[in-house]
């Protein structure tokens, strides 16, 4: 096996952990029971990935619960508040499409990341399927569902540039990955009668520095909630 790119495991592990937490916030709030279960299941898959990835770097609990905001290497996309259901689906579409393409490529490697990627890519395929079907249903649904879906897509678009920033330690053909991602998203949105957001993917004020530890304001509040129990009761167990 090739030596492990720890920085990469941290970046991908943080993506999975943070998105898992954001999806978990839907417990008790999802529009229907089936979706509550679906989002919780996707969250659980991501938490499983995060546990394996973070364990490649160090102690999973210490990394998840005792790091400060600036030490996290996740994308700013995954830390954004969950918003309404359409907003969450827009993020799921953007992220699961990216994660599937990335994991497909990583699965071809020969390091510890490849083992995880070839396992997780199958789960992520279901996540993407779920996001795609909801995008079609909301986009091609009522006037209100269409408008909310479009709003979610537009609002999160600015965070999608950072997604293709090369991760240290990974040999991935990023421009090709970006091209395929853009094609896939455009295809789904067209079928869903939605419009591909046209603004810049990055923006002056969203530096897109998640991989360098620069995060947006809502992330600090999310971490406070996520880490509060562990910090208040060190070593607590069920």
Partner 1 sequence: MVTAGPVEETPLERKLREAAGSVPDPELPVISLAELGVLRGLRVTGPGRVEVELTPTYTGCPAIEAMSADIERVLHQHGIPEVTVRTVLSPPWTTDAISADGRRKLKEFGIAPPRTTGPATNGPVAVDLAIRCPHCGSTRTTLLSRFSSTACKALHRCESCLEPFDHFKELS
Chain residues that interact with partner 1, rule: CB under 8 A: 34-35, 37-38, 40-42, 44-49, 51-52, 115-116, 118-120, 122-123, 126, 129-130, 133
Nearer to partner 1, 134 or 159 (CB): 134
The residues, ordered by sequence, that sit 6+ positions from 152 with a Cβ below 8 Å of its Cβ are: 83, 84, 86, 87, 88, 89, 90, 91
Sign of CA dihedral 229, 234, 237, 238: negative
Closest approach of partner 1 to the CB of residue 114, in Å: 8
Whether 128 contacts 97, CB under 8 Å: yes
b/e sequence 199-235, b meaning 16+ C-beta within 10 Å = eebbeeebebebbeeebbeebeebbeebbeeeeeeee
Closest approach of partner 1 to the CB of residue 238, in Å: 11
Nearer to partner 1, 40 or 155 (CB): 40
59-68-174 Cα angle (round to 5): 80
Nearer to partner 1, 102 or 120 (CB): 120
Rounded distance between C-alpha atoms, residue 90 and residue 138, angstroms = 10
The secondary element (H helix, E strand) that includes residue 15 is helix 6-24
Nearer to partner 1, 30 or 189 (CB): 30
Closest approach of partner 1 to the CB of residue 47, in Å: 5
Whether 54 contacts 16, CB under 8 Å: no
Closest approach of partner 1 to the CB of residue 34, in Å: 4
φ, ψ of residue 67 to 5 degrees: the values are -90, 150
Closest approach of partner 1 to the CB of residue 65, in Å: 18
Nearer to partner 1, 51 or 211 (CB): 51
Closest approach of partner 1 to the CB of residue 133, in Å: 8
φ, ψ of residue 125 to 5 degrees: the values are -60, -35
Nearer to partner 1, 115 or 140 (CB): 115
């Amino acid at each position: 096996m090739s030596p492990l790119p720890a920085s990469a495991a941290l970046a991908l592990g943080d993506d999975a952990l943070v998105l898992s937490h954001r999806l978990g916030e839907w417990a008790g709030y999802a529009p229907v029971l089936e979706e509550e279960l679906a989002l919780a299941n996707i969250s659980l898959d991501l938490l499983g990935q995060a546990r394996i990835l973070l364990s490649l770097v160090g102690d999973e609990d210490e990394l998840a619960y005792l790091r400060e905001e600036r030490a996290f290497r996740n994308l700013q996309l995954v830390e954004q508040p969950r918003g309404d259901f359409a907003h969450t689906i827009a993020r799921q579409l953007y992220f699961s499409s990216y994660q599937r393409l990335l994991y497909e490529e990583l699965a071809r490697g020969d390091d510890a990341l490849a083992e995880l990627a070839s396992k997780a890519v199958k789960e992520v395929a279901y996540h993407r399927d779920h996001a795609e079907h909801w995008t079609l249903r909301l986009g091609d649904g009522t006037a209100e569902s269409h408008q909310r879906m479009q709003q979610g897509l537009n609002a999160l678009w600015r965070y999608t540039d950072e997604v293709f920033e090369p991760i240290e330690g990974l040999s991935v053909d990023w421009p090709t990955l970006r091209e395929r991602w853009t094609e896939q998203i455009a295809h789904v949105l067209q079928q869903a009668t939605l419009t591909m957001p046209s603004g810049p993917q990055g923006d002056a004020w969203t530096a897109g520095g998640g991989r360098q530890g620069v995060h947006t304001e809502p992330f600090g509040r999310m971490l406070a909630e996520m880490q509060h129990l562990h910090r208040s009761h060190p070593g607590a167990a069920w």
